[in-house]
Amino acid sequence: MTQSHSLARARRCGAALLSLCLLLGALVTGPQVEAADRSITIEDLLSAPFPYGLTASPKGEQVAWIANRLGARNIYLAQAGSDGKFAVRALTRQEGDNGIELADLQWSHDASMLVFSRGGSLEGGGPVNPSSAASGPTAMEIASVRLESGEIRSFGLGSNAVPSPVNDDVVFVRGGQIWIGNLARSDAATQLIQDAGAASELSWSPDGKRLAFISNRKDFSVVGVVEIASRNIRWMSPGVDRDMSLRWSRDSKRLAWVRYPSLAESFWTDAFFAKRAGEPWSIWVADVASGAGNKVWTAEAGPGSIFQPIEGSTSLLWTADNRLLFPWEQTGWLRLYSLDLSQKGARPVALSQDGAEVFAMTLDPAGREAIYSSNAEDDDRRHLWRVPVKGGKPQRASKGDGIEDFPVLTEQGALFAMHSTARNPMAPALVQSDGAFKTMAASGAALSFPGDRLVVPQRVVFKSPDGLSVHGQLFEPSGKKSAKQPAVLFFHGGPQRQMLLGWHPMGAYTHMYAMNQFLASKGYVVLSVNFRGGTGYGLNFREPDEFAAGGGSEARDIAGAVEYLKSRGDIDPARIGVYGMSYGGIMTSLALARYPQDFAVGVDMAGVHNWKSFLADLTAPGASAEVAEVAFQSSAMATIEDWRAPVLIVHGDDDRAVTFAQSVELVRGLRKETNVEPELLVIPNEVHDFILHRSWRRVFEATHEFLDRYLQQPGT
């Protein structure tokens, strides 16, 4: 919530930079509602552990995941017993809000160990010290934990570790180079190769004799294959484009990947337009013994000619019957397709439904059935589906009105996924044959949570002034309501994300959902807006005209949302607030600068307020002054003199996605051009998506107090 899309476009350049991070708005409380439940606290809603990184063992019936509970991240194992039930236990014992990230969970070949990344920041950018500890910054390192003993071993600095599928070797990236260590031996890891590029996407051949990788060069990338025994590199049909999504054939003889054009078009002219079509992407397959590769398929011109990866998993799978599965937007929707490599010139067969999008996919152990998550038949939720890889009618694999994502299967074919409902936070679950769920405690033990006191959000669709249909989730306070209620608009980040009608499967967005529930418990009507530029509603919605630095058309969805709230008849139009983070911060600042008559207050977290100063290419030598001016006029700074509502600006000053300078510029602009003196909450040494639990809590509490101050009573 991510690879390099064409940096040739200001619209996608800004979006890609912002979508490196998972983006968060802030919790607020509001005015009194006669029967509103007042016992729910911010801490209550933050108490649920958030699980992520679900992975199935290569041997036996067991799955593992990471859970973040109150800032302590640990690895958990669920193992099937003789009674068929899955018992959960912790493999690591981190305690307290220590600011130590865990990620990239991988199984050893014999399922005796798990390998993972520890420390640093998942946003990149080097060491971090969010707690301002005297010990100083911590960098990301590679570690392993033994299932039987819980023994943890560090392999030193690195990221993206991948254990061998046949022995105890493990490879990882350190300083852009590939290193190799051994899980069983105590000797130190050594550098495997020396390459001119920066390595990524390390991928072992199934027989463990070779390692494929992407070598990222300045403005292109190439595929390399290392012979482990000799450490020699063979390059797979190198070109001048971008390669990604490596996938081995099951016999280890061939390698497939996606290739898309690099810097194919002009940065300056392209910034004005939605990018729905361009120079087509393709799929390549190479014989690894010779390095000779062939283009086996090329996307057709028009919709889908620009590659769009799957959000939550790999974007290329190789089946047992010699087919490649991949996403394609030929119909204007991100669907799953199957290409039969045994038939020369074969056309892809659509596997998933039209009019819906795929978010994650995997194969059954036999490699003959695809299991994927999609919003088919339920556009503001995600469910699991099964379909034969050769084609056929998809069958729903999960039931109910919850949310399911990130499916994995064990060696024996047991299906697991992350599962939530409107009231129950995300948890790992066994998906039974009838589609029902057996959920497991995300942090190993049942915890008290006020789920029965939460509201069930409603799906709403409203029109923006230009006629675009925009989806939202409406949270209404329970109990008897006063005649006119205050309301708050919430805007997610990304922007290529989608808020759902339940607890979200991505970390920052589960916080967002908690915020909206908290607001409703305090008497606010909350409208969470899935504005243009987001996912879930097709290519044209994700790639709108004049978006971001190309015209700021997303501001029209702010106007549409306000008009919807006012049309309800139960909203006090003088008491409407707005909040969001990163792209949600952009939307917040646009709301306060473009529509000052509609908003009484706002909370702007880590937003971009001036596209011209944020995107360095806009002011580089030779840049178009016309494009730069459009970018500026698309920003809140262009109309900052109209801003009159009080605002709380929140930002971590070690933000690696949106530079802190954007908040500095906004504050200076408000002081110079308006009578608004912004309130500030600056968190030294914190990153974009806060690492510390106490940082989130502090931000939520400050935001609660701030919005409550201006929206609590009519006339304030």
Asked if residue 266 has pLDDT above 50, the reply is: no
What is the rounded distance in angstroms from the CA atom of residue 264 to the CA atom of residue 591? 35
- When mean pLDDT is compared across 211-215, 234-238, 459-463, 701-705, the lowest value belongs to 701-705
**Per-residue pLDDT at 273:** 61
- Of 499, 695, 669, nearest to 584 (Cα)? 499
The residue ranking higher by pLDDT, 577 or 15, is 577
What does the pLDDT average to over 688-697?
95
- When mean pLDDT is compared across 306-315, 405-414, 475-484, 550-559, the lowest value belongs to 475-484
Residues 6+ apart with CB under 8 A from 66: 51, 52, 53, 73, 74, 75, 76, 102, 103, 105, 116
Q: Is the pTM of this model over 0.85?
A: yes
Mean pLDDT computed over every residue of the chain: 91
Q: Are strands 571-581 and 485-491 parallel, antiparallel or unpaired?
A: parallel
**Per-residue pLDDT at 480:** 66
**Per-residue pLDDT at 34:** 41
- When mean pLDDT is compared across 236-250, 548-562, 565-579, 619-633, the lowest value belongs to 619-633
**Per-residue pLDDT at 80:** 86
* Three-state SS at 323: strand
Q: Are strands 190-191 and 102-107 parallel, antiparallel or unpaired?
A: unpaired
Q: Token pair of 581, please?
A: 């983070």
- When mean pLDDT is compared across 38-42, 300-304, 615-619, 623-627, the lowest value belongs to 38-42
Asked if residue 351 has pLDDT above 80, the reply is: yes
The residue ranking higher by pLDDT, 376 or 275, is 376
Asked if residue 481 has pLDDT above 80, the reply is: no
Asked if residue 4 has pLDDT above 70, the reply is: no
Q: What percent of the chain has pLDDT over 90?
A: 84
User: Using one digit for the tens of pLDDT, what is the confidence trace for 505-525?
Assistant: 998 999 989 999 999 999 999
- Of 180, 188, 184, nearest to 161 (Cα)? 180
**Per-residue pLDDT at 20:** 35
Asked if residue 6 has pLDDT above 80, the reply is: no
Measured CA distances, 473 to 49, 492, 700 (Å): 23, 12, 20
Q: Do residues 197 and 215 make contact, with C-beta atoms less than 8 angstroms apart?
A: yes
- When mean pLDDT is compared across 33-37, 47-51, 157-161, the lowest value belongs to 33-37
When pLDDT is cut at 50, 70 and 90, the band that residue 213 belongs to is very high
Asked if residue 444 has pLDDT above 60, the reply is: yes
What does the pLDDT average to over 290-318?
94
Q: Which CATH number fits domain 22-30+450-711: 3.30.200.20, 3.40.50.1820, 3.40.50.920, 3.30.300.100?
A: 3.40.50.1820
Q: Do residues 690 and 699 make contact, with C-beta atoms less than 8 angstroms apart?
A: yes
